[in-house]
């Protein structure tokens, strides 16, 4: 994923914005990333990825997701389809 790719697809929040938020606001818990343009508050697909970015940052690493944007979006589509059909999204 590149910096301008969207991590939260519902609210179009880029990885760059999330990383800047982490560095600026130093959130104690990953859920505080929702204060960054409502990331994670829609379908919640991106929540595990927000948690990953937060843990990387807490560990002193440069936060970044190692997933191709196309694959990421396709997996979210499946997740949403599973939720809509009453499945568990897996
Ligand atoms: S992709 Fe982030 S809430 Fe849906």
CA of 12 to the centre of ligand 1 (A): 8
- Containing H/E element for 30? none
Mutate to test the pocket of ligand 1, among 15, 43, 67 (most ligand atoms within 8 A of CB): 43
Write down the pLDDT at residue 34.
98
Q: How far apart are the first and last CA of the chain?
A: 22
Residue 83 has pLDDT above 90, yes or no: no
pLDDT of residue 90: 44
**Encoding tokens for residue 82?**
């599973």
Give residue-wise pLDDT tens across range 62-79.
999 999 999 999 999 999
- Give the tens place of pLDDT for each residue, 12-51: 999 999 999 999 999 999 999 999 999 999 999 999 999 9
SS (H, E, C) the chain: CCCCCEEECCCCEEHHHHHHHHHHHCCCCHHHHHHCCCCCCCCCCCHHHHHHHHHHHHCCCCCCCCCCHHHHHHHHHHHHHHHHCCCCCC
Backbone angles phi, psi at 17, to 5 degrees: -65, -40
Helix axes 15-25, 47-58, angle to 10 degrees: 50
Residue boundaries of the structural domains of the chain? 6-84
C-alpha 56 – ligand 1 centre gap (Å): 20
Residue 85 has pLDDT above 90, yes or no: no
Which residue's alpha carbon is nearest to atom 4 within ligand 1?
Answer: 43
Given the CA of residue 11, which atom of ligand 1 is nearest to it?
2
Which residue lies with its CA nearest to atom 2 of ligand 1? 8
Span from the CA of 67 to the centroid of ligand 1 (angstroms) = 16
């Amino acid at each position: 994923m590149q910096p301008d790719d969207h991590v939260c697809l519902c609210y179009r929040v880029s990885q760059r914005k999330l990383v800047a938020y982490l560095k600026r606001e130093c959130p104690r818990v990953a859920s505080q990333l929702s204060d960054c343009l409502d990331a994670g508050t829609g379908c919640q697909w991106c929540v595990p990825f927000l948690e990953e970015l937060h843990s990387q940052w807490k560990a002193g690493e440069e936060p970044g997701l190692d997933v191709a944007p196309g694959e990421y979006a396709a997996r979210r589509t499946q997740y949403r389809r599973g939720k809509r059909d009453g499945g568990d999204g897996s």
